[in-house]
Each structure stands twice: as structure tokens, then as C-alpha cells.
Structure 1
């Protein structure tokens, strides 16, 4: 059965439109409780429980109540975590030996959107089969369980997760003397990240740390780093760190105000593991990972493979290869030897550990990888059928690839949600990249609108 509601990253949409309504959340809670509540937790048999966490958007209160009611009606106990980063729910689900964890969040989207993510008992994304089972259970009429579930609030959730993040660094690791600006995107890390970095010794200036339910990701966070750049320069800080609304992504700004993306951060972590730890078996990126990043890894003998865009696919390829490091240029980095999912705070600490062991600044380490200019054009089409395989499109792509040779690459990728084809070209020269992208996009537009 094809998935009707679940996308590659849970369920997401505009609040009050489509499926993102309180009524749907009530039915989803019942369906999830019916399916997940029948599965054993990590501790085996016993009282069934599911945890619920959320980010700071105002609709989270409404959806939390609806999911809680549906789960309780299915006979499942509910642990309420309150506003917590998405990776914290993954960790706490394992810690409390729950059957599953549910996150109410739309990640880097504005407050008017919301969504649902699920974690299994071991803190990983749900398998497709379980998502299909939940979708099928949505069609089952709700009845009241003979033994209703109960709800309790986990008051020490934040303290537990703070200690987990700190423990992802070695004993004795210290940020003493570091001046760091944190941008918490007015999201789920607002009360977590500043404490983690301060308790490790850093002098912290926190911005984007005053959520009001409406300002999550609003001109702040990893998708809007301009304010962070300004604050780093104003404070004369060593660096800045930006999270997204639910705390699973991270980007840096160096002391000069230059943005450091996920590819560059992955390179630093991989290089550190190769030189200071037990080695780096390989790194998984995505189709959008910068070609300069791939070349830098190749030059140092670190294997690199690309997965489809999306952390689910990155993790699948990591597991297939037996590798522990992967991520996306957006800053979604997975350090599988430290946690089970992308974690902005844990990933940031891995980067800071690398800076400490190398004894170099962020500018000095990022200078070891030369990122190539990348230009992307979104081409809106009347239809996409057969466009990518059309002879004219293939001829233009082949010509561009021949011109670039080993100095770049071409990628055509259909959007998963809109009638678009994304034309991306990267290479050494900015002007050449832009020219080739424009030429390919023109042919794609002509073919797709004819």
C-alpha cells in the first residue's frame, strides 16, 4: 500500500488545511496508539507508553492535546516532554524504554505550518511498513479502550538531554575561553543549547531564544543567518552557531562572519576522525552535496557516496555501508556513533572538539576544503513526464558535462512537492556555472511547456 499521509520526513502541512487539523491528530493518535502500542518497547513487555515532544510554535499545544487524547483512548500511557529538540525525543524514547516517540514540529518552516515525526523504540525513524500500518489504522473507527491510558509530565526531560549532549564529548573537554553566539531560531533549543555550551565553559551570547509561539524561524536560525553574522562581528566572538526550529540542523559562522555550511562541517568532523580518532571509514552526502567537498575527501582517501536528498536516505546508506558519518549541506548531520538521528547540538560539539584537537580556528580548518560555485534554477513546467529523458535535454546536459569534465557536475532533479525541475550546475568558475545552468534550464522549460 502506498503511503497516503506520510512523506519522507513524517507528516507536514499548513495548520488547518489538508490533514493538519485537530480532528486528524486525534485520529492519528488513536491509530498510532493502536499500532505502536502493540509493539514491545526496548524493555520488552509491560505497560505501553509513547512520548510526545514539540517545538515552540503555538499550534503545538492544540495538537499535543489531540494526540494525547487519541493515544489514551487507545489504552496507551503518554509521557509529555514539552518543548524539546527533535533529537531529544529520539534519545528520551530510548531512555524511558517507550514504544515510540512523537515530535510535533515543522522543523525550519514558519509558525503557520506544523507536522508530526515518529521515532521507534530504538530512537530511529519508523520503517515504511509501520507507517503504512498506521495509515491503515486511520480507517478504523475509534472505540474506547477498556483500560484507558494515563498521561504524565516528564519534568526533568531538559536536564536529561543536556547531560546527554555534554556526554557526547570526551571527559575533560572544555570550551573555556571560547566566545560563542548561539542562534536558537526561537525554537526548541532555546532553553537547552545555551545551558549545554555554558556548562562546558563557553562564554555564550544567545539570540533567537525568546519564543512566543509565532516567531519560530522568523528571520533567524539556520535558514536566516544574517542576524547571527551581525552579532558575531558585534561581539567579536570566535564563532556563531545557528540551529533550526526543531534543533536537528546546525550551521556555523566563523569569526569573520563567513557562513560555514553542512558540507564544510562534515568535512571538519571527517578529517578529525581520520587524524585523531580511529579513522573515518566513509561519509555519506546527498545529490546536492558540493563537489568540492567530495574532491577534498577523495584527496585524503576518505570514501564518499551520495544518497537521495533527505536524512532518511542518508542514514539508510550509512547503515548499508557500516559508516557512522553522513549529512546534508543544509546542516542535518548524523554522527551515528554518538546518537541515532541528526542532532544540531551534538554535531556542533563534534565540530568544536575538532577545533580544539587541531588547535586551529574555524577559518583555518574550512580553508582546507575549496567549495565550488553552485547555481540552481527552478524551472516550473506544465508537465514533467518524459522531460528528463528527452533527447534535447540529454544533449544539452551531455554538452555541459563534457565542457566541465572533472571540474564540476550537472544535476537535474524533480521537486517532490511542486511541478518543478531543479537544474543545478557546479564548477570552478561562477560565470561558466551560471551560463551552463541557464542553457539547460531553457531547454527544460521549452520541452516541459510544449
Structure 2
């Protein structure tokens, strides 16, 4: 059974348009609350609600709070806090669930609701389906004696800061390093600078002045050129680029060279393998660059590909009993450090890896260069794209065997199919991508 409202990472959309409206979010909170009450069979389960810096967060926070308390659930409010901070506090405070109000790397006009289950883990499909089923039922407020309570909690940011610092090796520090930290005017603005400063780094902060409207606007992990320019301007050693809710990471070296999630995962995996602590292999996605897979294989490190979405990477890591994985977009998972992707903690693992290997990012990544990729979005008009592309798809796979890959993936949000071809030669990738796209178009 497919999900009606939940995507790969909660419910998301443009504020004021269904489903990101106060009335729907009120019912969403109520539905999630009723599922919690029925699931746990305890009086007044407790959830924690955080948000990023979008102006709409005030409105949606109030709606969620009303829905949960109407269902008999107690609520703790943190104010602005990164998504992985909410996951951590859900686990640390032994709460029934955590909720984050954020649209991650999207512009301020968008927002969304992300859920964490008990233990700070992603909500599983079964619970999401139960919440969706409850959304279709009438909303019946609990009797007054059974209503939940809500209160703001102090010290949430400080607890999370200390948790982040605890994931960095005790025998190491950041003294002598000059870092540029780009907080994307988002939820890490009062967290990330303190973490890196308290570990000893000299700090320059950009994207650290949120006003409700500037989240991810020309800064952050979706605009890493901003941190690269700042690194060169200030003569810094590293640039750290986080996204609006703090679960993505991109980095730059002192030359302004950018490193995406694939490369940073490789750095972490290589250091752990060198000290015999990788504990298995690495999980990427169908979009992970093939050159990374080949480089890992040359070092005897197993590699698996999950569907696109960090929840699917997480599922494969758990299934394999592995710890390290993620996506080129900057979602990086180190499950021995946190239950979810965390930009700050991932960065600390990268910085630790550089110290342990006594090498800079360029040197660590010098044994592979990303294969060129060509991506074409082909708009669909009802045609059977799988049938029309089948012959050219097979021809491309045969031509690229051992030299590249073809990925055809329908979008989950718009009527297009994404044609991605990757090869060790840019012209070859472009040729086969255009060839398959033309077949789908019917030309």
C-alpha cells in the first residue's frame, strides 16, 4: 500500500498549499498522537518538537502542539534545533517520538514535518501508514482530563553541543585549524560554531544570521561555492557547509576545492579501514559515483547500493550490520556515532580522519576522480517510458560495461523520468544519455 502524504523524509510542500497548512498539520499532530497513544498504551506519551529558522515554523509549531495535546500527548518544545539534534534528544530523554519542522535544503517558502520514532530512529513504513489511516478518521478531541500538556525546555542546544563534541576522538583536537563554517542561516547557526570553537578551532562563520526568510539563500550545502570563496578569502584550512536543518555536509579545502558526500564518505571509510575499525562495508545509492565504488573495491572494501534517500541507506546499513554510508548530496551516516545523518558529526569524523591519516582531503581522495555524469529529465505525457527506452537502455549498458552505468529513475514529485548516464569519458556519458532520452521522447 502506497503512502498518500509521507515522502521519503516526512511530509513536505509549499507553505499555505495543501498539505502544509495549519489545519492539516493540526490533524497530522492529532493523528500521530493517537497512533502513539494506541501503540504505547500508556498515559500521556511525550514527544519533542523542534524547528529550523523558517518564518512559518511558528505557525506550524503551534498547530502540531495543538494536535498532539488534543490527542492526549505531552509536548516538549525546543525552538530552533538541527534535525539530528531532535533525533538525539528523542533517544537521550527516552521519549516516545521526535518531530522536526523543516524543509531541509529547500527555500523558506517550503516547510515540512519529519518524524523520529522512539530511540531517535526514522519512523518505519508501518507507523507512517497507521498515521495516514488515522488522518482519514474524524478528529475527536480527548476529554479535558486526558489532554496533554506542552512546555518549552531549557538547555536543549547545550546538550546537543556536548553530544556532538563527544563523537570526536578524545586524544584529538582542532587547535591550529582555521575553519569557515556556513550555517545556511538555518538551524545550526547557534550550534555548529560553538562545537568547532570549543574543540579548539579558529572560526569564521557565514550564513549565521537567520531572519526567517534567508534560509539556504545563496549559502549552505546547496550553494557550497559560498564557503569555498570564503575559505580562499580568509586563508582557512577547511570550509564546512551545512544545510538548513543540519543533516547535510559539503566541504572545501584550503584551495577552495569542493568535496561532496561521496568523497567525504570515502575519507571516513578509508581512515576507519586503515585502523581496522570500518566493521563491514559502505552503503551508497544508485546515484553514487561509480569511481568511488571501484576505489573502495581496490582497497578490499565492500560496497552496496540502496535506493535514493537516506532512509533506504539506513535500512541497508542495518540489514548488513555496517556503519558508514550516505549520498553525494551530503547525507552521511556514521551509525556508531548517531542514529541518523548529522552534518556536524559527519564533519568531525572527516576532520578526525585527516588527522589520523596525516593527509589533507586532496591527498586522501587522490586515488579516484569522479566519473563524469550526464543527467536529463524527460517530461512524460503518459507514454510507457520503460518499453520505449528498453532497447537503447540495454545497448547503453552493453557499451558502458566496466566503464560506466545507466540509471533510469521516475521522479516521485513530478511527471518526469530522470536519465543518468555515468562513464569514464564525458562525451560517452552525454551520447548515451541523449540517445536514451530521445527514445523515451519517441523521437
TM-score (norm 1): 0.95
**Conserved? CA contact 1:181–1:205, under 8 Å:** yes
Corresponding residue number in structure 2 for 1:87: 84
Q: In the TM superposition, what are the counterparts of 1:8-407 in structure 2 within 5 Å? A: 8-40=8-40, 47-138=44-135, 139-145=137-143, 146-384=145-383, 386-390=384-388, 393-407=389-403
Corresponding residue number in structure 2 for 1:6: 6
Corresponding position: 1:408 with 2:410: no
- TM superposition outliers: structure 1 runs of 4+ over 6 Å: none
Measure how far apart 1:46 and its partner are.
6.3
Task: After superposition, give the CA deviation of every residue in 1:304-351 in whole Å (9 maximum; x if it has no partner).
Answer: 010100011111111111111110010101111111111111111110
**Conserved? CA contact 2:37–2:43, under 8 Å:** no
CA distance in 1, matches of 2:226, 2:346: 22
**Conserved? CA contact 2:285–2:327, under 8 Å:** yes
Measure how far apart 1:268 and its partner are.
0.7
CA distance in 2, matches of 1:71, 1:176: 45
CA distance in 2, matches of 1:2, 1:394: 26
CA distance in 2, matches of 1:104, 1:196: 23
**Conserved? CA contact 1:37–1:99, under 8 Å:** no
* SS at 1:201 equivalent: coil
CA distance in 1, matches of 2:330, 2:288: 11
* SS at 1:389 equivalent: helix
CA distance in 2, matches of 1:130, 1:10: 12
* SS at 2:122 equivalent: coil
Measure how far apart 1:5 and its partner are.
1.1
Task: After superposition, give the CA deviation of every residue in 1:101-158 in whole Å (9 maximum; x if it has no partner).
Answer: 0000001110000110100111111111111111122223222332221111111000
* SS at 1:129 equivalent: helix
TM-score (norm 2): 0.97
For structure 1, list consecutive stretches of 5 or more residues without a partner in the other structure.
none
**Conserved? CA contact 1:27–1:142, under 8 Å:** no
CA distance in 2, matches of 1:221, 1:209: 10
Measure how far apart 1:399 and its partner are.
2.3
Task: After superposition, give the CA deviation of every residue in 1:391-447 in whole Å (9 maximum; x if it has no partner).
Answer: xx2222222222222111111111111111111111111122112211221111117
Measure how far apart 1:274 and its partner are.
0.4
CA distance in 1, matches of 2:190, 2:353: 25
**Conserved? CA contact 2:178–2:201, under 8 Å:** yes
* SS at 1:367 equivalent: helix
**Conserved? CA contact 2:37–2:44, under 8 Å:** no
Number of residue pairs aligned between Structure 1 and Structure 2: 441
